[in-house]
């Protein structure tokens, strides 16, 4: 996913609000102890998620794909009074780490952790969401979109991560052996053609598709 020149990435980070200390610690521990640390949202993307949340001041956020909890903490920063983030991940081994950092950040009472397959959990959520962040298995992006769409209020946001797939979305030959890339291309095309929404694809890190439900 490192297709943006490193010097530009550094310049962007240098001109972005600082990463809060607890997130800096989580970032470092994830890179030291956890496999595939590049899955972490990181400084610049994390500040963007926080900014979206602060602008929207949501009561309810749904995150599909917790990983070590970095993005959940960023999203929780903008919650309205009494608001909550529900975050889902299939990997129960990382939940202890995620919970510990929620405690350190003073946000434990605002984040509800759910462990299991998102496709099985989402239908049982009796909530109306202001913001949904999708950052899980790419082959299921279309399914997750279908499952959550009617649960998002008009004017609410759906944000999907990794929609540039390391820049391979403009490399047709790469689809031959990349099932996840094919799923991302289908998802991006589907969103572009969906008249129920307005959308913008932001080339931030590995690409964020920001979708506003009309």
Give the per-residue pLDDT at 138.
96
Average pLDDT over residues 112-123: 98
What are 50-76's pLDDT values in tens digits? 999 999 999 999 999 999 999 999 999
What does the pLDDT read at residue 2?
A: 66
Report the number of distinct structural domains present in the chain.
1
In a domain, 134, yes or no: yes
User: CA-CA distance, 69 to 166, in Å (whole number)?
Assistant: 22
User: Residue 188 domain-assigned?
Assistant: yes
Give me the percent of the chain exceeding a pLDDT of 90: 92
- pTM of model > 0.85: yes
Angle 178-184-185 (CA atoms, 0-180°, nearest 5)? 90
Please tell me the distance from the alpha carbon of residue 39 to that of residue 28, in angstroms, as a whole number: 13
Instruction: Using alpha carbons, select from 120, 97, 83 the residue that is nearest to residue 40.
Output: 97
* Residue numbers of the domain that contains 155: 6-213
Q: Which CATH number does the domain housing residue 175 bear?
A: 3.40.50.150
In a domain, 1, yes or no: no
Q: Per this entry, what is the length of the chain?
A: 214
């Amino acid at each position: 996913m490192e297709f943006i020149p490193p010097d530009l990435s550094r310049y962007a980070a240098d001109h972005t609000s600082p990463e809060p200390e607890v997130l800096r610690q989580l970032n470092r521990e994830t890179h030291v102890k956890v496999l595939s640390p590049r899955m972490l949202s990181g400084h610049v993307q994390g500040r963007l998620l926080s900014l979206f949340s602060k602008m929207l001041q949501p009561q309810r956020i749904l995150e599909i794909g917790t990983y070590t909890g970095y993005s959940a903490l960023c999203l929780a920063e903008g919650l309205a009074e009494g608001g909550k983030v529900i975050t889902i991940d299939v990997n129960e081994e990382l939940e202890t780490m995620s919970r510990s950092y929620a405690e350190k950040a003073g946000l434990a009472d605002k984040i509800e952790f759910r462990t299991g397959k998102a496709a099985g959990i989402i239908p049982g959520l009796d909530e109306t969401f202001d913001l949904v962040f999708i950052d899980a298995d790419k082959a299921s992006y279309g399914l997750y979109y279908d499952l959550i769409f009617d649960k998002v209020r008009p004017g609410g946001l759906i944000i999907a991560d990794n929609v540039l797939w390391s820049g391979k979305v403009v490399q047709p030959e790469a689809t031959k052996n990349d099932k996840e890339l094919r799923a991302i291309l289908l998802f991006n095309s589907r969103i572009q053609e969906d008249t129920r929404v307005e959308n913008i694809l932001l080339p931030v890190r590995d690409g964020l598709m920001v979708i506003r439900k009309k």
